[in-house]
């Protein structure tokens, strides 16, 4: 069974997307894939199905995380899954995310244009320079998984 840990990385950037298009984040994911499909690895039921999300995360240094909506104090498993596999999120979502995680371990963007400007700057040197923040965010993200298991035990 694959676990949550900081895996050795040998690939650059991935994204996971479904075929959904109802919410702003769904649509943005599809725009990103359309524009960047030659520079990123694409996974998910809408594209290249995988059995487990970890398959689309564990080998990658960076992972594009797009929340379905952009809202303060709200983030989802999309981000947690990324952090508990040692990926640096290229993140669109919760504007207050710095209150929960170390922002040094994130790359944030607000528009597709901004994302495109950052994609070419990604490399293993950048990833390795953020190791401390990756480890800190990994530990914090695992706490959210523990809390989720604790709550789900009672409901």
CATH number of the CATH domain containing 132: 3.40.50.11660
Q: Per the domain annotation, does 3 fall within a domain?
A: no
Domain membership of residue 50 as a residue range? 11-152
Instruction: Please check whether residue 53 lies inside any domain of the structure.
Output: yes
Question: What is the model's pLDDT at position 155?
Answer: 42
Q: Which one, of 114, 79, 113, 104, lies nearest residue 93 by Cα?
A: 79
Domain count, the chain: 1
Do 55 and 7 form a contact (C-beta atoms < 8 A)? no
Q: Is residue 74 part of a domain?
A: yes
Q: Is residue 48 in some structural domain?
A: yes
Give the Cα separation of 151 and 143 in Å (integer). 12
Write down the pLDDT at residue 145: 81
Measure the CA–CA gap between 45 and 61, rounded to whole angstroms: 22
Domain assignment of residue 5, yes or no? no
Residue 69: inside a domain, yes or no?
yes
Is residue 2 domain-resident? no
> What SS3 state is found at 26?
helix
Print pLDDT tens along the chain (155 aa).
Answer: 458 899 999 999 999 998 888 888 899 999 999 999 999 999 998 789 999 999 999 999 999 999 999 999 999 999 999 999 999 999 999 999 999 999 999 999 999 999 999 999 999 999 999 999 999 999 999 998 876 554 444 44
In a domain, 1, yes or no: no
Q: What is the pTM of this model?
A: 0.92
Residue located via tokens 């998984």: 145
Torsion-angle region of residue 120: left (phi > 0), alpha (psi -120 to 50) or beta? alpha
11 DSSP β-pair partners: 60
């Amino acid at each position: 069974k694959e676990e949550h840990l900081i895996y050795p990385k040998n690939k650059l950037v991935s994204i996971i997307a479904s075929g959904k298009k109802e919410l702003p984040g769904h649509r943005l994911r599809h725009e990103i894939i359309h524009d960047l499909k030659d520079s990123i690895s694409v996974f998910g039921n809408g594209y290249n199905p995988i059995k487990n999300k970890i398959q689309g995360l564990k080998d990658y240094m960076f992972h594009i995380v797009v929340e379905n909506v952009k809202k303060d104090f709200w983030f989802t498993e999309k981000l947690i899954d990324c952090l508990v596999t040692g990926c640096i999120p290229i993140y669109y979502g919760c504007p207050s995310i710095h209150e929960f995680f170390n922002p040094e371990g994130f790359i944030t963007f607000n528009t597709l244009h901004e994302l495109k400007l950052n994609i070419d700057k990604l490399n293993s040197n950048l990833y390795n320079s953020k190791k401390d923040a990756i480890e800190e965010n990994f530990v914090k993200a695992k706490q959210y998984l523990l809390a989720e298991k604790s709550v789900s035990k009672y409901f």
